[in-house]
Structure 1
Amino acid sequence: MASSPEGRVIMFMGRLLTFVALAVSLAACGARNDAPIADTVLTNGRIYTVESDTPWVSAVAIKDGVYIALGDDEAMQKHIGKSTQVIDLNGRMAMPGINDAHSHPFSGAIKELYECSFPFSAAPDEIVAKLRDCVAANPTSAWITGGQWDSDFFKNHHIASPRSLLDSVSGDKAVFFADDSGHNGWANSKALALAGITKQTPDPANGKIGRDPKTGEPNGILLEDAVTLLEAVIPERTSAEYVTAARQVVSIANALGITGMKDANAKPPAMAALQTLDKAGELSMYMAAAISTPYGHREVALDYAALEAARTQYASPHVLTDFVKIFMDGVPTASRTAAMLAPYTPDAHGHAGDGVLHVPQEQLSADLIELDRRGFTVKIHTAGDRSVRVALNAIAAAREANGNSGLRHELAHAGYVDDADMKRFVTLNTVADVSPVIWHPSPIITSVINAVGRPRGEHYWPIRQFLDDGTEVAAGSDWPSAVTSPTPWTGIEAFVTRRDPDGKTPGALWPEQAITLEEAIRIYTLNGARALKLEHKTGSVKVGKSADLIVLDRNLFDVPIDAVGDAKVLTTFFAGSIVYRTQP
C-alpha cells in the first residue's frame, strides 16, 4: 500500500504529524527552560519592595539565594517544580531586611552575656542591690563591669561620694559602670587604684576626673578621655567569649529582622570573631566593620598602614572592612562634651563651655585625605554642630585633593547642624548618620535639652530638612548606647511621630521634622544597604538581589502609626534561607 499514491500520502501525513508533535514538545521544553525552577517561592503576600517602579508584589521566586522573579501568584507558577518549597504568606506583609547603619553590637552582646546590667532608670539603691548580687554571683572575678546609668543620674541623685557608694558592696572587686552614652564612667576605689588614678593625676586633655570638692580625691566619676585611663586596665575578653558574643549578635539581629549591620567602632577581637563565624557558615547577616582608631585627644596622623592591614586580615564574604571610625567629640548631655558652636547652659558649678574637639582641623583634614585616597569610607562621630562643621571641612579637603572618589563619608549623631552647613552634606556627598534612636522625647533628650538650652536644644535631628535638601540619611540603633535593643521598629515609628514609642515621656520633639513611613522604611533598608556599600546586592526586593526578606505580624501601612513600634518579625530570610522563625 505504501507504494500506492494513497499510501504515500498517508505515510507523509504521519511523518508530518510526528514532526509537528516533536516540534511542539521541543518548544514546550524550551519554554520550561526559559523559566528556571526556583528553590523557594513565596505566594499570597503583601511584599513591599522599596522599589519605586513596583512598590508592591504578592509573590517572589528565589533561586541560589537571589530573587529570580517578582509578581503575582500566577506569574510564579512557571517557577515551581517538584523540589520547590512553596510558602504561603497568608496575606502578611514582607519587606527587605533591615540594615542598621550604626551599632556597637559586641558591647551590647557582652553586656547581655557577661556584665552587671541595670536599666537606665535605676535609682542608687537599685544599682547597689544589683552590684551586690553581681559580686555574689561572680566570686572568682576580679572585675565587675556593666551599667548603664542615666546621663542625669548624678544631677537627679545627690551622692556625696559615688566611689564610696560602690565600695560599700563591692568587696575586693574592681567595679566600672558606663553611662547611657557610653562616653562616661563610674568606678570604685579598687578600679581607680588599678588604673593609677589618684589625687595627683591630672585631667587628660579632653576629659575630666571627678573629685571631692574638699579633698581633691577622685570621686569615681570619669568623663570622656578620663574613661580611657581606666579602660586600659580592664582585662580583655577571651577569643571564645567574643565568638559567643558574635553568635549572640546574629541571634538578636535576625530575630529583629536585621540582615545587615555596621559595627561603628570595630576592634580586632570582634572582627576576628565575626570572621570565625563567617568561615563556619554561621554569619547569617552582612557585618560592616568601621575599624576603630584611638579615642580622645590626638594631634598625630593615624596609622594608615595598620588600618590597611586590618582591612585585609579580617575581611571575609560577609565581613566588610572598607570602613574606619574617628571620634571627634563627646555627647551633648549633662557632661557637655559634644563640640558646639555656642556655649552650653552653665552646669551646677556655673561652668558653661562649648565642649571638646578631639582632633584639630588640620589633622582631621590630613586623615580624611589619606583615608579617602586609600578607599576607606570614614564614619566620624560628630555630636555637636562645631564638630559637624570641622568634619565637613575635612571632607571638603579630601574632595579637593582627591576629586570625588564616590565614597560617601558619614557624620554620625549629626543631630545638631548649623543652618550654614545643612546643604554642605549634599554638595560634599556626605551621609547624615542619625543615631541612636532618640529623635523623640526621653530622659536622655531631657538631659540634652537642659544642657544645650531652649529653644536651641529642642531643634534636634532635622530629618525632614535633610531629606528635602537631598541629603542621604542612614539610621542606626547605636545599641547599647541610649537604647536597650537594636530594634528598628521604634525608630521607624518615631521618625513619623517624633513621639516616644513606649509612651513613657510625653510630648513631641520638633514635630515639624517628621517624615513619612515610606521614607522611614527606605532609610532603614536601602539607605542602610548603601551605608554598607551593598545597595547593588541588598536593601530592596529586586530581581538579581540577595533574597534578604522579613515577614511581619502586621502590615505597617494598615495599622495606626503608634502600632508600628510593636511590630514583630515572624520569619527572616538571608540569602534565600530561613535564619529566624517564630515558634508556632
Structure 2
Amino acid sequence: MNKISKVYLKRIIGLAVLAIVTACDQVSIVQSTDWVLTNGRFYTVNDEKPWAEAVVIRDGVFIYVGENKGAQAFVTEESKITDLQGSMVIPGIVDAHTHPGQIELTRYETTFTGNTREEFLAELTVYAKENPGNGWLRGCCWPVQEFVDGNLGPDRNDLDPIFPDRPVWLISTGGHSFWLNSQALQELSINEDSKDPKFPVAMYKRDNSGRLTGWVKEGAAWVRVNEVFEVDTEIHEASMRDMLEILGKHGVTTLYDAGTKGFADRVYEFLSKLDKAGELAIRYEGTYRISIPENVRLAIPEMKRYREVYGGERLKFNTIKLFMDGIHENRSGAMLQPYADDPDYISDTILSVWELKEFLLDLHEERFDLHVHVIGDLATKRVLDAVEMAKEEAGDGFYPRVSLAHLQTVDPGDWLRFRELGVTANFTPWWSGVDVPNPIGEGLEQVRSEDTFRAKAIADAGGNVTFSSDTWNLRNLSPFLGIQVGHTRQYPREWLTPGADPNAFLKPESEKMPIELLIQGYTINGAYQLRMENQHGSIETGKMGDLVILEENLFETEPHSIYQIKPRAVVMEGILMHGNLN
C-alpha cells in the first residue's frame, strides 16, 4: 500500500477518533499507533495557544498539542518518536486560488519576446517567413503595455499582411487579451454581427466604424479556446502531476482550483482517476467557471454533475467561480471612475447587482459557495451590495460563503464591509511587487496605482484574508514566495532587471504584512474560505494532522531569503508525504 493510500485508510479511522476527542490537550487512552513529535517550535495558528513544543498524532488526528513533558504520557515501546531539534512547524498550507488544470493545457507553438510594438511585429514577420503554413498559429505573448492605450489596442490590420493565409491567435502578457487576425475570426465565425457576450468586459473590440479589430477580451475568448487548442493528454496529465507534486513539497495540503477554461471534464476525469487510485495527495476543490452571463444557468447543474461523476475522497466540488469584471491591463476592470487614459470609459460587470443577488439566492437553496474574480472597485462594491441584499432576503442561515479574489482596487469605504458581511478577501501576495514596465501603462494615475492590493487594510478592519498562488507557472507556486513579497512588497532581488532599484516597493508601505498575518492567511483563514476550519488550518486537538516542518524560522529569516525556503518535511493526516525527518 503506497503512502497516499495509507492516508485514506487512516483518515477513515481518524474520523472515528474525532468523535471522541475532547477540548483537552490529550485523551486518556494510549494506542500503539501514536506518533509523538517533540522539541519543535509549533506555530499553531490557534489564538488560545499560539505556540507548542510537541504534538501527538493518532490515526491522522492531533490528540495532543502542548509541552514536551505532556507528550511523554503517550510514549510506549511501539510509539513512533521524532525529535524535531527545534524546527519550526506550521499547519498544512491552503492555496485558496490556483490552477493545476491549466498547466500545459493551451500550448503555444512559439513564444515571441519583443518588448516593443516594433520589435514584436518584426519578430512576427521573421517567423512568418521562416515558418510557412496554413494551420492555426498559437503564439505568446504580445506586450500589453505597448499595444493598449485607453480604448485602443492591437489591430488585425497589422497581422493580416504578415499572416494572410493562416489563422493566428496571440495571447497577451497579461493573459486576459487575445489578438486574432482576419483568418482566425473567420475560422471562429466571429463577424461584425456577432454579439459581445458582455460589453465592455467579455467583448470583441470594434473601431468607431463598427469594424472588428481582432482584439478579443476576457470570456469572449475563453469560451472559444477548446475550438483553437488541441490538448496533448500525456503532456497535460504529466504536468498536472508535476504541479501537484511541487505544491505538496512546498507544504500545500489543500487547494481551490479556480477554473480550467473549457476543459473541466478532461481535468476532473484525470483527477478523479488519481483520487480513486489513492494517488491524489492534496485535498482538491474543483469548480465550474462562469466567464460570460449565459454560463450562470449552467453553473449549478454542472457542479452537481461534477460531484456525481468525479467527486471522491479528496476531489470535491463546493464552490462556483464567477468573473465579475476583467483586468486593468486591457481596460476591462469595473471602475468607479474612468481609466486615466480613457476618460469616456463606462464600466460594467458581468452580472448586475440584482442578477448576482438572484444567483446567490439560488446558491443558498442549493448549498453552494461562490468565489468571485474582482479587479476594479466597482466590481467589488457590486458584489458586496448583492451579498447584503441576498442576506437580507434569505434571513438567518444564509448559506453561501462568498470570497472575492484579487481586489486590486477597492474603495476604502468597503474595507469594513468584508467583516460585516462575512465575505472573504483573497489575495495573491506575490503580485505585490513593482513591475517594470508597468503593465497597466497609463491606465491608472499615480494616486490609484499606489493604492492597490490592500490586504492588510481589510484584515485590520476585521476581514477574513486568504492567500494563493493563482498560477500554473511552476516557478511561482511556492507559498513562501507569497510570504516574502507580501511582507516586503518587493519581488525577489534576483528577479529584478538590470538597473532596477532594489529598494523600491509597491506603495503604500503600510501594506507590508506581518509574518503572522501571512501564515494565518495561508492556513486557518484559507480553511475557513473552503469550509474546512473545523478539521484543518491550525494545529489543535481534534483536527487532522497536517504539518509543514521547516529548517528556518519564518520570524527570524532574512526577509529577502524567505522565497527560497523549502520545507524539511510535509505531513498530511499523520503520514510523511514529502521530505524526511531523519
Whether contact under 8 Å (1:195, 1:229) holds in the other structure is no
Whether contact under 8 Å (1:192, 1:230) holds in the other structure is no
Q: Using the alignment, how far apart are the partners of 2:166 and 2:74 within structure 1?
A: 63
Match of 2:305 in 1: 309
**TM-aligned CA distance change 1:214 to 1:374, over 3 Å:** closer
Match of 2:267 in 1: 270
1:501 and 2:498 aligned = no
Structure 1, residues 66-99: CA drift from partner, whole Å, max 9, x if none? Answer: 2222334444344344444433333322211210
Q: Using the alignment, how far apart are the partners of 1:185 and 1:436 within structure 2?
A: 26
Relative contact order: is structure 1 or structure 2 higher (C-alpha 8 Å, sep ≥ 6)?
Answer: 2
TM-score in terms of structure 1 length: 0.80
Gaps spanning 5+ residues in structure 2: where?
A: 1-25
Whether contact under 8 Å (2:177, 2:217) holds in the other structure is yes
1:558 and 2:556 aligned = yes
Q: How does 1:48-197 map to 2 (within 5 A)?
A: 48-108=43-103, 110=105, 115-116=108-109, 145=138, 147-154=140-147, 175-187=168-180, 191-197=184-190
Per the TM alignment, residue 528 of structure 1 is displaced from its structure 2 partner at its CA by: 0.9
Q: Using the alignment, how far apart are the partners of 1:78 and 1:328 within structure 2?
A: 54
Q: How does 1:301-450 map to 2 (within 5 A)?
A: 301-302=297-298, 304-333=300-329, 335-347=330-342, 352-403=344-395, 404-435=397-428, 437-443=430-436, 446-448=438-440, 450=442
Match of 1:541 in 2: 539
Match of 2:4 in 1: none
Structure 1, residues 510-550: CA drift from partner, whole Å, max 9, x if none? Answer: 11223211111101111111112111111111222222111
**TM-aligned CA distance change 1:127 to 1:542, over 3 Å:** farther
1:492 and 2:483 aligned = yes
Whether contact under 8 Å (2:326, 2:334) holds in the other structure is yes
Correspondent of 1:453 among 432, 441, 445: 445
Whether contact under 8 Å (2:288, 2:299) holds in the other structure is no
Whether contact under 8 Å (2:35, 2:56) holds in the other structure is yes
**TM-aligned CA distance change 1:548 to 1:127, over 3 Å:** farther
Whether contact under 8 Å (2:103, 2:236) holds in the other structure is no
Aligned length: 541
Letter in 2 for 1:433: N
Partner SS state of residue 227, structure 2: coil
Structure 1, residues 398-443: CA drift from partner, whole Å, max 9, x if none? Answer: 2122224254211222232223322222221111122363223224
Gaps spanning 5+ residues in structure 1: where?
A: 1-30
TM-score in terms of structure 2 length: 0.81
Structure 1, residues 253-292: CA drift from partner, whole Å, max 9, x if none? Answer: 1122111110112533322322221111111111112322
Letter in 1 for 2:93: I
**TM-aligned CA distance change 1:223 to 1:33, over 3 Å:** closer
Q: Using the alignment, how far apart are the partners of 2:464 and 2:532 within structure 1?
A: 15
Partner SS state of residue 34, structure 1: coil
**TM-aligned CA distance change 1:174 to 1:454, over 3 Å:** same
Match of 2:21 in 1: none
Q: Using the alignment, how far apart are the partners of 1:545 and 1:203 within structure 2?
A: 48
**TM-aligned CA distance change 1:161 to 1:461, over 3 Å:** closer
Partner SS state of residue 102, structure 1: strand
**TM-aligned CA distance change 1:301 to 1:110, over 3 Å:** closer
**TM-aligned CA distance change 1:221 to 1:64, over 3 Å:** same
Q: Using the alignment, how far apart are the partners of 2:319 and 2:27 within structure 1?
A: 45
Q: Using the alignment, how far apart are the partners of 1:58 and 1:480 within structure 2?
A: 36
Letter in 2 for 1:275: S
Q: Using the alignment, how far apart are the partners of 1:401 and 1:570 within structure 2?
A: 50
Whether contact under 8 Å (1:105, 1:249) holds in the other structure is yes
Percent identity, aligned pairs only?
Answer: 27
Whether contact under 8 Å (2:155, 2:215) holds in the other structure is no
Larger radius of gyration: 1
Whether contact under 8 Å (1:163, 1:186) holds in the other structure is no
Q: Using the alignment, how far apart are the partners of 1:580 and 1:222 within structure 2?
A: 43
RMSD value, Cα: 3.9
Match of 2:9 in 1: none
